[in-house]
A and B are shown apart, each in its own frame.
Chain A
Amino acid sequence: EADIYQTPRYLVIGTGKKITLECSQTMGHDKMYWYQQDPGMELHLIHYSYGVNSTEKGDLSSESTVSRIRTEHFPLTLESARPSHTSQYLCASSFRGNYGYTFGSGTRLTVV
């Protein structure tokens, strides 16, 4: 049973819309991450957080933004979606010093 939840699972939206992908975990993990994965490609880190009010950009440049107001919640926002944002977005979390990540089920985003 998953302890990290992502919603929605699938989203199809029009260009220019603002969207927020939700990610919540109930494990009390201090570290949280957002990865982007295109079909058949590797996972790319786009954002991470080491705790409340801490956010950093990852290795892959992204037009999205994140916030970490509560330990358990790490939403990702796209102010104006474009077709190039079509991808799968995976949220993950871990304890400080523990390298075994727990992943959410992902959000598959399609921008038309």
Chain B
Amino acid sequence: EDKVVQSPLSLVVHEGDTVTLNCSYEVTNFRSLLWYKQEKKAPTFLFMLTSSGIEKKSGRLSSILDKKELFSILNITATQTGDSAVYLCAVTYGNKLVFGAGTILRVKS
């Protein structure tokens, strides 16, 4: 059965801390891995990763994929209270996505 597992389930940090969120997957016909940020509404797209070892960066966020070990990490440096959200990892197979349960991040001021 295809699955995506994220860890930790939840995380509380202080502003300025660096966090690493993990996503491991077991799917057939892997095509890409995506990270989303979900606040109160719908998920917003962060990154799409298709190749191993190539880091994607956007400001304080970065992500990398390891297709051999079947996992990805999302790093957030110098966290801010606005980073508080649920971070979702999703993996595409065929033309569909399978989502993990998410990591709840809370950044305290």
A-to-B contact residues, CB < 8 Å: 31, 33, 35, 40-45, 48, 50, 58-59, 90, 92, 96, 99-106
Main secondary structure of the interface of A (DSSP, over half): loop
In the complex, whether B48 has a CB less than 8 A from a CB of chain A is yes
Verify A105–B101 contact, CB threshold 8 A.
Answer: no
Most chain B beta-carbon neighbours within 10 Å: one of A45, A99, A100: A99
Which of B42, B96, B104 is the one whose CB lies under 8 Å from A105?
Answer: B42
Verify A100–B48 contact, CB threshold 8 A.
Answer: yes
- Distance A50 CA – B95 CA, assembled complex (angstroms): 9
B-to-A contact residues, CB < 8 Å: 4, 31-32, 34, 41-45, 48, 88, 90, 92, 95-102, 104
Identity of the chain B residue whose Cβ is nearest the Cβ of A88 in the assembled complex:
B42
Verify A106–B42 contact, CB threshold 8 A.
Answer: yes
Identity of the chain B residue whose Cβ is nearest the Cβ of A35 in the assembled complex:
B99
- Distance A96 CA – B99 CA, assembled complex (angstroms): 19
Identity of the chain A residue whose Cβ is nearest the Cβ of B6 in the assembled complex:
A42
Which of A45, A90, A96 is the one whose CB lies under 8 Å from B96?
Answer: A45
**Distance between B54 CB and nearest chain A CB, rounded to angstroms:** 16
Verify A105–B95 contact, CB threshold 8 A.
Answer: no
Which of A43, A48, A100, A104 is the one whose CB lies under 8 Å from B99?
Answer: A43
- Distance A90 CA – B90 CA, assembled complex (angstroms): 15
Please judge, given known A-B contacts A42-B102, A43-B99, A45-B96, whether A99 and B32 are in contact too, CB under 8 Å.
yes
Verify B34–A90 contact, CB threshold 8 A.
Answer: no
Can you spell out 13 A-B residue pairs with CB atoms less than 8 angstroms apart?
A33-B96, A40-B102, A42-B100, A43-B88, A43-B90, A44-B99, A48-B95, A59-B96, A90-B43, A99-B31, A99-B92, A102-B45, A104-B42
- Distance A44 CA – B90 CA, assembled complex (angstroms): 11
List the B side residues contacting A59 at CB < 8 Å.
96, 98
List the A side residues contacting B101 at CB < 8 Å.
40-42
Identity of the chain A residue whose Cβ is nearest the Cβ of B100 in the assembled complex:
A42
List the A side residues contacting B32 at CB < 8 Å.
99
